[in-house]
Amino acid sequence: MTPALLVLEDGRVFRGAAYGAEGETFGEMVFNTGMTGYQETLTDPSYARQIVAMTSPHIGNTGINGEDPESRRIQVAGYVVREPARVASNWRATGSLGSALRDQSVVGIAISGTRALTRHLRDRGAMRAGIFSGADAVALGEDALVERVRQSPSMEGADLARDVSTKEPYVVQAEGERRFTVAAVDLGIKSMTPHRMSERGCEVHVLPATSTTEEILALAPDGVFFSNGPGDPAAAGYAVDALKGVLDAGTPFFGICFGNQIFGRALDLGTYKLRFGHRGINQPVQDRTTGKVDVSAHNHGFAVKAPTDGSFDTPYGPGEVSHVNLNDGCVEGLRLLERPAFSVQYHPEAAAGPHDASGLFDRFCELMEGSR
């Protein structure tokens, strides 16, 4: 097996074997706690410029297929697993995960210490990292590789949404009768998201991340959607400006994940980087209005700063925190009290599950219906 090293910016080094493509890669080191959905994770644009470690020990058992990807390609900067499957076994499989990683030049590593890596990140927080494989890379020495990692870009201040967004608009047709027209701003949208709206009779016009208010409203949409995506929301001022115009117009709005953070900034709230983020499919979130708790899918490294004890003033009237994370109290949702606009930090589309929160798409449709 080809030797490989996973090198963290604080000097911690894990030795293992190359998995997928060989070479070197850099990114923010994070972990995902999901036991299913590795293909959805790999193809989620929100993972751009991140090296993802899977805490589930066996990865690749069911291979890959053409139905589950959330985008057209693998998006992660690097991949860390414990025990890659030797054989892919599933009736839907069209190939092996290792082959897909090699074909798309995604550098990975198999290490025995994924639990130790996860505990280290839980103590120290997410940080920059690099994967280096091959005898020549390993021969450079750990000190030299640590220094190379420290010179790589940080996630803070990174404007990545425009990098992963569609370059040209496209349309996802409604299933059955068209009930609504939705303008969806692609900040790193997952393929399941417009599908969930299409199922509810929405004709979804997916627009580039840098679309202006004028370009969005030129579609005369019944509602506007801002998607998930990678990077620092503080670096996406173009999206904030566009959303402010949408809110000024009173058009119903729904945001997910990065869209929630952009909504927060449009309401003059701040955002901040979480210590290690939330990534997985087992996060408990409470709707503060109903008291209902959803187990939900997460993938984010930033969050919104907002008061959780009552309403607060915004340029668009009073707003409030609608959802909170029961693990750490993090803001998981926002809504305006006098305008049809709300957002959540998690993923109700959740292709790999859970599907507890899928009703949020129905709520968006109710807002659009009520605003006609």
Q: Out of 257, 300, 330, 365, which one is annotated catalytic? A: 257
C-alpha distances (whole Å) from 175 to each of 12, 172, 180, 197 are 51, 9, 11, 9
DSSP, collapsed to helix, strand or coil, labels residue 291 as: coil
Q: Out of 9, 202, 349, 365, which one is annotated catalytic? A: 349
> Does the annotation list 312 as a binding residue?
no
> Does the annotation list 39 as a binding residue?
no
Beta bridge partners of 80: 53, 109
Radius of gyration of the chain (CA): 21
> Does the annotation list 104 as a binding residue?
no
Residue of 227, 221, 191, 185 whose CA lies nearest to 206: 185
332 classed as catalytic: no
> Does the annotation list 46 as a binding residue?
yes
Under DSSP, the state recorded for 27 is E
Six-digit token string for 75: 């998006």
CA dist., res. 183 & res. 207, Å (int):
7
257 classed as catalytic: yes
> Does the annotation list 20 as a binding residue?
no
* Distant-in-sequence, close-in-space partners of 188: CB < 8 Å, separation ≥ 6: 44, 45, 46, 48, 160, 161, 164, 165, 209, 227, 228, 229, 230, 258
> Does the annotation list 370 as a binding residue?
no
> Does the annotation list 299 as a binding residue?
yes
Six-digit token string for 209: 């991340």
Annotated binding site for L-glutamine: 46, 229, 231, 258, 261, 299, 301-302
What are the residue numbers of the active site? 257, 347, 349
